[in-house]
Structure formats: structure tokens, C-alpha cells
Amino acid sequence: MGVGDPLGMAVTHAIASGMGGMRAAGDLVARMQMTRGMKIKEAKKYVAEKLGVSVPDLTDPIIMSEVRENLEIGTLHPVANHPQGIEAKANIAKVLDIDINCVKRLRESR
């Protein structure tokens, strides 16, 4: 993306063509591009299979809220006694079967 005020730029792109971030599964699909260099179709298919949902479900905030809560991988509205932040990322690493740099370094430092 790039410069411009957040409403004109970030919000407009997010609504026009984004995956919704952690409202849905955008952060998870992004992780597959970043860790495995997957193109978008492959990344969506991989994440959908790991989560046990269909590819269209990945951008549905209602379905994904339930999936994220059940798998304890971080939700937009924090749930009491559920993981947030780096704890949620430790679960994401397990669910997606990937290394997450900060989680790996935290484990190694212990």
C-alpha cells in the first residue's frame, strides 16, 4: 500500500479488496505468504485446510470469530481467559505448522 490519509487509503483498500485482518483470517493468509512464499490461492487453500473451513469462510467475520475463539488464535474482541498477543501467536504457529520468529525466540530464551 502506501501514503495517504488512513481513511482514504488503508480503510478504502481494506474494504474494497482486503481480507479483513484478524476480523477474519487475513493475518493467517499473510503469514503463509511471508513464511512459505505462497501465492494467494495456495495460501488461502493451506489456511482453510488447517482451520477446517472452506476458502470463502476465510473472509467471513462471523464464521472466523467462532473458529478463532475455538482454536485460541486471537480474536478481535478479546475473550476472558483466552490467549492474546504473543500467546495467541504461539497457537497460530502450532495450527498453521509454521515458525513465528518472536515465538521461536521466546522459547529459545527460556
Partner 1 sequence: MGKIKTRYGDGSPLEMSESELERDLEEGTADAADRGQIAPLSKEDLQHLTDIFCSPYRFVSVEPGNEVVLSYDGAPLKMWRTQISVNRIQCLEIYEKLLGADTLELGHVDYSYKPIKPIVGFEQPLMEKALMTTTAPLFYGAMPNLGLYSQPDGPFPNPAELMPMGKIDEARQAQEAAVEEAVKDIVFVAGSLYESGADGIILDTVGAAGDADFLAGLQATEILKEKYPEICIEFGMAGEFVLGMHGDLTYDGVRLAGLYAQDQVKLAEKAGATIFGPVCNTNTNKTAPWNLSRAITFMKACGEVANIPIHVNMGMGVGAVTVHDNPPIDIVSRASKGMVEICRLDGL
Task: List interacting residues with partner 1 (CB under 8 A).
Answer: 1-23, 26-27, 29-31, 33-35, 37-40, 43, 55-56, 59, 73-74, 76, 84-86, 88-89, 92, 99-102, 105-106
Between 52 and 82, name the residue whose CB sits nearer to partner 1: 82
Between 40 and 79, name the residue whose CB sits nearer to partner 1: 40
Distance of alpha carbon 26 from alpha carbon 59, whole angstroms: 7
Tell me how far apart the 2 most distant CA atoms of the chain are, in Å.
44
Q: How many CB atoms lie within 10 A of CB 54?
A: 12
Please report how close the Cβ of residue 65 comes to partner 1 at its closest, in angstroms. Answer: 13
Tell me how long the chain is.
110
